[in-house]
């Protein structure tokens, strides 16, 4: 209960639970609070403060926030026209021109058609395709193809043709019929990734089947030139392929998660993330470990081994010294602008960083909040990491500070930017891709939707109704951004069931363009 105001007694002043008789100013001490002049002055000050508070409350009730504050596009354009400097929000990045451009692309996203890898009568019975690849402008051809697998062992391809509005069409163009499926004579059990290495013109396939060591399959698609001089990939024309096998004797049950093609400036074909560490595959197809499986000098190499790993310490030694190299790796990427620096992430809650020029790769790490499912370098200094427990963050490689505590009480590194609306609680194999050109991250969510995030602010962006209405019982497993030959902007390709769906920007009017 609130205390009642003291009763006012004429001629008396109340303070400190006592009443003091008000004394004339002429006879009271100069600093006395009960002098008539002091009491009168305090009453006037109290009245003025109360009137100011009432005016502030009245003005506050008449303030209405602009409807533009929830609209990134219109508020950004208006701020740019008026020259208003927008401040960073608490816990969020600054709304910059790149963020506005990303929001505009997302807002105008529409359905650009689909390409089916199974008969229409079975669309509702197929699970999501686990791996896809769509060829783009980097392939140097005048048409596009899409590769995918439904059963994780058979590689299928389809030609992709578009109309003047960049919509996928099924009208045959010469011998390239986009309505037909083409089976490549490539057998890759438990296919885990499909990638393309542009410098060597090789498609790379990895196998997650345990017990076979490294299973990296490569082949070069046939390129034909038509009567107009246009170059095209020919599907189902590969008469041979190369299968690289690497079987270490220490742990015969390890398997491969995915490969990452090396940049053109590197002498590598790719690097491969496995359940046993990271391997490098050179251009001459020779193979070697990047991660060092040797134990530190301070540990006895004869220590009892767990899980059959002869060159690694047992549980007690690992608990005492901690993991000093990457173990099981789900994703890796080269630093933009420097092919010698490699980022990697996996089951351990660390973002691993190494310089491949060192005779023996030494690994530094950033403490992430959870295990890592995806890693991507977005510029020469920053890398984005997405993992479990709804954790997606951007780190700056120029400075790391382990001064933050997560919800489990573990000390982690402070990220440059967080994505609070990202939702992936416990899945490693989930659709995810980054487009540096659009400053966007596309990610499948636990609720079966696909969401777009800004690389600049970390906020979730409102997409067009075509993508907002895309829902599935389970999260999609594969998606990618790609710019087809002849197109000016990237589009988003999502593998929903046996369908490869295309979503692209289609402005409503000339002003939006």
Predicted confidence (pLDDT) per residue in 198-212, tens digit: 999 999 999 888 776
Beta bridge partners of 157: 147, 182
CA–CA gap between residue 144 and residue 162 (Å, rounded): 9
Q: Which range marks the domain in which residue 51 is found?
A: 20-62
Q: What is the pLDDT of residue 2?
A: 52
Q: Which helix (H) or strand (E) holds 58?
A: helix 36-62
Same domain for 143 and 284 = yes
Same domain for 493 and 402 = yes
Residue at which a domain ends, from 10, 42, 62:
62
- 237, 247, 131: which is closest to 193 by C-alpha? 131
Same domain for 380 and 509 = yes
Same domain for 31 and 86 = no
Q: What is the pLDDT of residue 250?
A: 59
Averaged confidence pLDDT in the chain: 82
Whether residue 360 lies inside any domain: the answer is no
Same domain for 215 and 244 = yes
Q: What is the pLDDT of residue 240?
A: 79
Tokens coding 182? 């083409």
- Is 468 strand, coil or helix? helix
Whether residue 353 lies inside any domain: the answer is no
Hey, which bits of 336-410 come out as E strands? 338-346, 350-355, 363-367, 372-377, 382-387, 392-396, 404-405
Same domain for 79 and 29 = no
Whether residue 113 lies inside any domain: the answer is yes
Whether residue 90 lies inside any domain: the answer is yes
Q: Which helix (H) or strand (E) holds 217?
A: strand 214-219
Whether residue 464 lies inside any domain: the answer is yes
- Please answer whether residues 203 and 220 qualify as being in contact, where contact means their C-beta atoms are separated by less than 8 angstroms: yes
Same domain for 252 and 146 = yes
Q: Which residues of the chain have pLDDT under 70?
A: 1-3, 13, 65-98, 171-175, 212-214, 246-252, 292-324, 360-361, 402-410, 507-513
Model confidence over 111-148: pLDDT tens digits? 999 999 988 888 888 899 999 999 999 898 988 999 99
CA–CA gap between residue 419 and residue 389 (Å, rounded): 12
Tokens coding 369? 């909040």
Q: What is the pLDDT of residue 173?
A: 54
Map tokens 């002498």 to a residue: 267
Same domain for 56 and 105 = no
Q: What is the pLDDT of residue 82?
A: 64
The pair phi, psi for residue 306, each rounded to 5°, is -100, 140
Same domain for 509 and 419 = yes
Structurally, how many domains does the chain consist of?
3
Same domain for 88 and 55 = no
Whether residue 309 lies inside any domain: the answer is no
Tokens coding 378? 């977005």
Same domain for 375 and 507 = yes
- Please answer whether residues 197 and 242 qualify as being in contact, where contact means their C-beta atoms are separated by less than 8 angstroms: no
DSSP state of 379: S
Whether residue 359 lies inside any domain: the answer is no
Whether residue 418 lies inside any domain: the answer is yes
Same domain for 167 and 43 = no
Strands 18-21 and 12-15: antiparallel
């Amino acid at each position: 209960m609130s205390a009642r105001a003291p009763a006012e007694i004429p001629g008396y002043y109340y303070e400190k639970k006592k009443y003091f008789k008000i004394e004339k100013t002429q006879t009271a001490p100069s600093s006395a609070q009960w002098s008539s002049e002091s009491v009168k002055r305090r009453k006037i000050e109290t009245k003025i403060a109360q009137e100011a508070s009432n005016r502030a409350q009245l003005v506050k009730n008449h303030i209405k926030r602009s409807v533009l504050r929830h609209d990134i596009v219109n508020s950004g354009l208006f701020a740019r026209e008026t020259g208003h400097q927008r401040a960073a929000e608490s816990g969020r990045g600054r709304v910059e021109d790149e963020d506005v451009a990303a929001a505009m692309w997302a807002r105008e996203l529409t359905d650009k058609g689909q390409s089916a890898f199974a008969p229409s009568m079975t669309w509702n019975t197929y699970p999501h395709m686990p791996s896809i690849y769509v060829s783009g402008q980097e392939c140097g051809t005048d048409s596009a193809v899409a590769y995918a697998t439904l059963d994780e062992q058979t590689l299928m391809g389809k030609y992709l043709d578009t109309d003047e509005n960049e919509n996928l069409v099924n009208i045959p163009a010469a011998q390239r019929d986009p309505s037909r499926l083409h089976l490549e004579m490539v057998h890759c059990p438990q296919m885990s990734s499909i990638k393309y290495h542009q410098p060597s013109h090789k498609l790379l396939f990895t196998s997650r089947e345990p017990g076979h060591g490294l299973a990296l399959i490569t082949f070069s698609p046939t390129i034909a030139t038509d009567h107009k001089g246009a170059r095209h990939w020919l599907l189902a024309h590969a008469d041979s392929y190369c299968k690289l096998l690497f079987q270490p004797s220490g742990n015969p049950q390890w398997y491969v998660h995915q490969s990452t093609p090396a940049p053109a400036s590197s002498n590598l074909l790719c690097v491969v993330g496995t359940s046993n560490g990271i391997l490098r595959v050179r251009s001459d197809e020779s193979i070697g470990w990047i991660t060092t499986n040797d134990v530190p000098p301070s540990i006895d190499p004869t220590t009892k081994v767990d899980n059959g790993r002869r060159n690694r310490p047992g549980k007690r030694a690992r608990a005492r010294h901690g993991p000093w190299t990457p173990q099981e790796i789900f994703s890796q990427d080269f630093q933009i602008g420097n092919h010698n620096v490699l980022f990697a992430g996996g089951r351990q809650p660390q973002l691993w960083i190494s310089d491949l020029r060192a005779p023996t790769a030494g690994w530094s790490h950033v403490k992430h909040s959870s295990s890592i499912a995806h890693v991507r370098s977005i510029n020469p200094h920053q890398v984005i990491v997405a993992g479990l427990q709804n954790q997606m963050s951007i780190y700056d490689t120029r400075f790391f500070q382990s001064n933050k505590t997560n919800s489990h009480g573990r000390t982690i590194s402070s990220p440059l930017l967080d994505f609070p609306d990202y939702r992936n609680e416990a899945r490693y194999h989930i659709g995810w891709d980054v487009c540096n050109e659009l400053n966007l991250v596309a990610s499948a969510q636990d609720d079966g939707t696909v969401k777009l995030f800004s690389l600049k602010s970390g906020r979730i962006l409102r997409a067009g109704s075509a993508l907002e209405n895309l829902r599935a019982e389970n999260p999609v497993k594969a998606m990618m951004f790609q710019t087809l030959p002849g197109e000016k902007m990237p589009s988003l390709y999502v593998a929903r069931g046996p369908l490869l769906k295309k979503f692209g920007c289609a402005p409503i009017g000339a002003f939006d363009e």
